[in-house]
């Protein structure tokens, strides 16, 4: 299949890819007047990546890199489209990514791989990033947006798995049965009821009432727990749950405090020495959110003093890059002290690690990436405006779609429209997220005006 390039002016404009959806006839026609467009192209030194001459995408040549043992269902979903998929079970460090990323049009990661500014600058072909998890803090979202690369994640699919893990941790902490089980494996019989409780009638305090927090609320209430929650916005509670503020009010009333917030500057060490002191004596703390939201040295002191009866941690400020790697003081200077604590459950970031969750995440994120690559739809993009676009059909053989990303300044759209003035622009849509404006244009290449 032959293709003709389109060049969009880039003087103080950030140019990214275009023609994300294209009919075969339009690709083969070569009738997009690229010499006229190229003459109108300008250069800019402020771009994250070099401005691209915009070639129609031939989907059969797309290459996708999937890291961190992403679900094989996602691999199959991409291969159905005829795309080449390279699947790896482990994460890649920055140096390896910089070396390899230039040959790929899309990448899928989980939580360990970091997509930094340096990686993005080296990703000369990259069109889209898929985070096969909830969090997106492992991606430089601002740089990706400036480079015209949308980022998609899966905000819903593992919510139930995390919520069920929290319920299991609440019961395990209240009954101390993981300690008793460890003792049995050491050949020690230690039957006791002191310090062991039913969770019925106890109060759970949920910090962050989003997808996970709200599901946890329903499960906890089914166990007969009283549910309080704290969130920065007013949210309608489910069941008999009650929103409270300030945070100190929730902490002082709760027997179990569980955290479900994103990693933001505002949430860094949001549970530190002062907040732990505000918790009830004998209460428990659970963190399955992000490792940075709890001041772990302060938590260690609170558990050692007896003020906090126990804790469950699934996330940490620094985590090993692969299974089998040590979780020691070289990674986090307090690791050995944390591991020595009684009635503290430590798990290796397994909140969303169930067969069901990984299958649903694979389906959700691969679907989002496929829709973007085939039609330009950005529904679910965390750093792009959300636009739901229909794919160009076989009955539209002379249509091509362009996605243009630029800086927010007067005159940009005028330049774009002047360049495309010889063609019939059937649809044009513009939107912005933060300071990033994007335009989508659907052209009929056979309807050139003279």
Residue 358 pLDDT more than 80? yes
Report pLDDT for 29.
41
pLDDT at 436: 67
Which tokens go with 263? 């990693």
Report d(CA 259, CA 412) in Å as an integer. 44
pLDDT beyond 50 at 42 = no
**Which DSSP helix (H) or strand (E) runs through 265?**
none
pLDDT digits (tens, 9 = 90+) for 52-103: 544 445 555 799 999 999 989 999 999 998 899 999 999 999 999 999 999 9
- Residues 98-134: pLDDT tens digits? 999 999 999 999 988 999 999 999 999 999 999 999 8
Q: Which has the higher per-residue pLDDT, 42 or 164?
A: 164
**CB-based contacts of 365, cutoff 8 Å, min separation 6:** 74, 108, 130, 131, 132, 152, 153, 154
Whether the predicted pLDDT of 282 surpasses 80: yes
pLDDT band for 7, please (50, 70, 90 cuts): very low
Q: Which residues contact 171 (CB under 8 A, 6 or more apart)?
A: 177, 199
Q: Place 377 in a pLDDT band, splitting at 50, 70 and 90.
A: confident
d(CA 70, CA 426): 39
Rounded Cα–Cα distance for residues 111 and 315 (Å): 11
Q: Encode pLDDT of 172-209 as tens digits.
A: 999 999 999 999 999 999 999 999 999 999 999 999 99
Alpha helix positions (H), 30-130: 34-39, 72-80, 94-100, 117-122
pTM of the model: 0.77
Query: Which of 42-51, 87-96, 293-302, 438-447 is the most confident on average?
Result: 293-302
236 pLDDT tier (thresholds 50, 70, 90): very high
Name the residues annotated as catalytic.
Answer: 290, 319, 349
- CB atoms under 10 Å from CB of 33, counted, come to 17
For residue 271, pLDDT over 90 is answered with yes
Whole-number pLDDT of residue 28:
39
Query: Mean per-residue pLDDT for 392-415?
Result: 76
């Amino acid at each position: 299949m032959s293709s003709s390039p389109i060049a969009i002016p880039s003087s103080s404009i950030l140019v990214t890819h275009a023609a994300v959806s294209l009919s075969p006839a339009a690709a083969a026609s070569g009738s997009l007047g690229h010499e006229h467009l190229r003459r109108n192209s300008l250069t800019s030194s402020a771009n994250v990546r070099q401005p691209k001459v915009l070639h129609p995408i031939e989907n059969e040549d797309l290459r996708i890199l999937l890291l961190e043992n992403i679900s094989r269902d996602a691999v199959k979903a991409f291969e159905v489209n005829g795309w080449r998929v390279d699947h790896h079970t482990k994460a890649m460090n920055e140096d390896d990514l910089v070396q390899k990323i230039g040959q790929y049009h899309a990448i899928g990661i989980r939580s360990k791989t970091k997509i930094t500014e340096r990686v993005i600058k080296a990703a000369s072909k990259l069109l889209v990033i898929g985070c096969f998890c909830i969090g997106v803090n492992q991606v430089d979202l601002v740089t990706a947006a400036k480079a015209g690369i949308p980022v998609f994640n899966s905000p819903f699919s593992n919510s139930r798995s995390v919520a069920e893990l929290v319920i299991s941790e609440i019961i395990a902490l209240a009954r101390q049965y993981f300690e008793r089980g460890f003792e049995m494996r050491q050949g020690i019989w230690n039957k006791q009821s002191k310090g062991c409780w039913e969770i019925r009638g106890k109060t759970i305090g949920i910090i962050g009432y989003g997808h996970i927090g709200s599901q946890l609320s329903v499960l906890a209430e089914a166990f007969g727990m009283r549910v309080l929650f704290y969130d920065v916005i007013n949210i309608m509670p489910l069941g008999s749950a009650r929103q409270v503020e300030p945070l100190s009010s929730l902490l002082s009333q709760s027997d179990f405090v569980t955290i479900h917030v994103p990693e933001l500057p505002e949430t860094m060490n949001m549970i530190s020495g002062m907040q732990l002191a505000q918790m009830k004596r004998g209460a428990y703390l659970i963190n399955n959110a992000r490792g940075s939201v709890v001041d772990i040295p302060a938590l260690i002191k609170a558990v050692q003093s007896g003020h906090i009866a126990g804790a469950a941690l699934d996330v940490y400020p620094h985590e090993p890059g692969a299974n089998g790697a040590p979780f020691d003081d070289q990674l986090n200077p307090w690791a050995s002290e944390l591991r020595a604590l009684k009635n503290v459950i430590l798990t290796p970031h397994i909140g969303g690690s169930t067969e069901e969750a990984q299958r649903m995440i694979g389906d959700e994120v691969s679907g989002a990436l496929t829709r973007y690559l085939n039609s330009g739809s950005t529904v679910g993009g965390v750093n792009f405006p959300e636009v739901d676009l229909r794919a160009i059909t076989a009955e539209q053989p002379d249509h091509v779609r362009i996605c243009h990303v630029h800086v927010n300044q007067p005159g940009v759209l005028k330049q774009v429209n002047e360049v495309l003035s010889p063609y019939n622009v059937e649809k044009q849509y513009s939107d912005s997220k933060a300071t990033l404006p994007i335009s989508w244009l659907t052209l009929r290449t056979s309807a050139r005006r003279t």
